[in-house]
Amino acid sequence: MTDVTEILIHWYAGRSQSEIATSLGVDRKTIRKYLAPAIAVGITPGGPAKTTAEWGELVSGWFPELADARLRQTTWPQIERHRDYIADMLKLGVTQATIHQRLRDEQGLSASVASLKRWVAANLPEEVRRDRVTVLGDQAEPGAEAQIDYGHLGSWIDPRSGRKHRVWAFVMVLVCSRLLFVRPVLAMDQRAWTEAHVEAFAFFGGVPARLVPDNLKTGVDKPDLYDPKINRSYAELAEHYDTLIDPARAAKPRDKPRVERPMPYVRDSFWRGREFTSLQQMQQQALTWCRDVAGQRHCRPLLGAAPMAVFDAVEAQALKPLPRKPFVLATWSTGKIGPDIHVKVGKTLYSVPWQHMGRRVDARETPTVVQIFDRGRPGGAGGLIATHVRKAAGKQTDMSHYPPEKIAFKMRTPTWCRTRAGEIGPACVAVIADLLAVNALFRLRAAQGVLGLAGRHGADRLERACARAIEVGDPSYRTIKGILAARAEAPAAPEPTGDGGAAAHLHGPSQLFGNVVALPRPSDPPTADTTTASGPPTAAELPPATASGTHPGPGNDEPPAHDDGGQRERAEPATTDQPAQSQPAQSQPAQSQPAGNEEAS
């Protein structure tokens, strides 16, 4: 409509149609078309002056389709039928191209995507423009904020191995001075993320009060606008350096524009066209580039000043000082304990006490130590259940974590077997030494089996069985077990009596004949206490020593009793309190001979 108004103004000023066509670049037929309504109503050039607004009102009345674009759109009526659907999709953040594709495929819309965009701009301007509105942030104070993100640099072939790697750039930007820190990495894991922060703080010589990272898993476990869950390793770093972590909203790159915008500059100025021999050289070159190139550039937001100059003048003193104690890099992970009571941390299996089998635990891995915590009590003193020296790969096992009965074989080593055999006896030592002489580990179970027999049969019987097996020339586990089962082990040695095995009569007469009743002498008159009416005492009445033919020792007043050749029977022993009583002649005939006859015989 502006062009039509301009044509009428030129015509009313007295210019010819040819001059208007040449001046405005419009065909003369088009000029005649728009001048026709003015001529029809009697307007002639050179009349009273009219303002642009007055000509605009006249044009709106003569050509209403120019004032309202909807009147000249033939496809808008069919788009209008889907107004509510389009408005709802725009509120959900669906792009106009996707809305057009869905309406075309699902509803049969024939209008073009350009027509849909024009319709949206004319009919739903608020829904389209609302998301485009940006709020200018406050000017950052020196040392107040740093924004962090990863950016892809490109591919790199390691000259040493010939392998192709994707290289990423860790970038931290101080918002006030725009000073960059760039560190190329090959993996965006937890260790690389934490190490990059430590190197960045060392490069700046201080720590900003607030960090604004992206919602990577290495920094944020669970994104949330109001209460994001920070990764444990990242939280330890923030606590050590006394800084606040304030993650950007998910899928909102404008929350950290200071680090998003320099990414193409880093990729172009530092990376492209350069050759690197190693990752270490790449990282060193990045530090030089940050200081000498990016730090010296003319920065438009700083009114042309160099970031390094602004940093040295304003921001360096505002950063928090670095802690005196160096930060220990730690990586946290979660795992489940299997039946083998091991949990995988990195590329290594670490054992935990068997009572925690089947549970999920948290592991904290440092360059030297791996700590495993009960997940129900993370980080607390009572939550620590195992500690190991870190190992790059393989298995790290503490045997005390197993139940004792499950590791008896592993704990009873050849050294243990020899020590235990020495506690049993020399024959057992000889058997164990013979079993472990050749292929000790192969025959270890047999040695353990022999020693285990002591628990069922006793150490003394095992020692005698080992001696018996050596005697028969087959000191094996099967033979020793059979000897014990048949109770055929060698008899036990007699216990020492204290007299070195001397004869009993060497103890003296007081012990040998302490309870023997003396025989009557021929000269002594018989008494009722010593003889019966029928004659001298019988063999049954004699004490055991006399009946067996044992001679009394020297110093006894009684004469020695001679052996009768086994004719006498052993008598019941008499006690000192009750002397032997004679039996009636009719019930027990006397078989002993008088003393004189014994001497004669």
3-state secondary structure 363-418: EEECCCEEEEEECCCCCCHHHEEEEEECCCCEEECCHHHCCHHHCHHHHCCHHHHH
Q: Tell me the pLDDT band of 404, cut-offs 50, 70 and 90.
A: confident
Structure tokens at 85: 């659907």
Does the domain at 145-318 match CATH 3.20.20.140? Answer given as no
Q: Kindly tell me if the per-residue pLDDT of 210 is higher than 70.
A: yes
Q: What is the pLDDT of residues 529-567, one digit of tens each?
A: 444 444 444 444 444 444 344 444 444 444 444 444 444
Whether 103 contacts 63, CB under 8 Å? no
**φ, ψ dihedrals at 496, nearest 5°:** -65, 140
Q: Specify burial of residue 72 (Cβ count, 10 A radius: 0-12, 13-18, 19+).
A: exposed
Alpha helices per DSSP H over 394-507: 408-411, 414-424, 426-435, 444-457, 459-472, 477-486
Q: Kindly tell me if the per-residue pLDDT of 306 is higher than 90.
A: yes
**CA–CA dist 20, 31 (Å, integer):** 8
Q: What angle do CA 289, 292, 293 make, to 5 degrees?
A: 65
Q: Which positions ≥6 away from 455 have C-beta within 8 Å?
A: none
Q: At 55, is the secondary structure helix, strand, or coil?
A: helix
Handedness of CA 256, 259, 260, 262 (dihedral sign): positive
H-helix or E-strand spanning residue 180: strand 180-185
Region of residue 525 (left: phi > 0; alpha: psi -120 to 50; beta: else): beta
Q: What is the pLDDT of residues 332-378, one digit of tens each?
A: 888 999 999 999 998 999 999 999 999 999 999 999 999 999 876 54
* pLDDT at 588 (0 to 100): 43
Q: Kindly tell me if the per-residue pLDDT of 307 is higher than 70.
A: yes
Burial 121-150 (b: 16+ CB within 10 A, else e): eebeeeeeeeeeeeeeeeebebbbbbbbbb
- The pTM score is 0.54
Percent of the chain with pLDDT over 70: 75
Please compute Rg for the chain using Cα positions. 57
Q: Kindly tell me if the per-residue pLDDT of 139 is higher than 60.
A: yes
Strand 220-222 versus strand 331-336 pairing type: unpaired
Please count the other Cβ atoms lying within 10 Å of the Cβ belonging to residue 26.
18
Whether 522 contacts 531, CB under 8 Å? no
Q: In what order do the strands lie in the sheet with 348-351?
A: 342-345, 348-351, 394-396
**CA–CA dist 366, 383 (Å, integer):** 18
Q: At 29, is the secondary structure helix, strand, or coil?
A: helix
Q: Tell me the pLDDT band of 75, cut-offs 50, 70 and 90.
A: confident
| Residue whose entry in the numeric block shows the structure tokens 């890099």 | 329
Q: Which positions ≥6 away from 182 have C-beta within 8 Å?
A: 169, 170, 171, 266, 270, 286, 289, 290, 294
**CA–CA dist 373, 384 (Å, integer):** 4
Cα–Cα distances in angstroms (integers) from residue 231 to residues 323, 515, 537, in the given order: 21, 97, 110
Q: At 524, is the secondary structure helix, strand, or coil?
A: coil
Least confident of 72-81, 123-132, 236-245: 123-132
**CA–CA dist 163, 458 (Å, integer):** 67
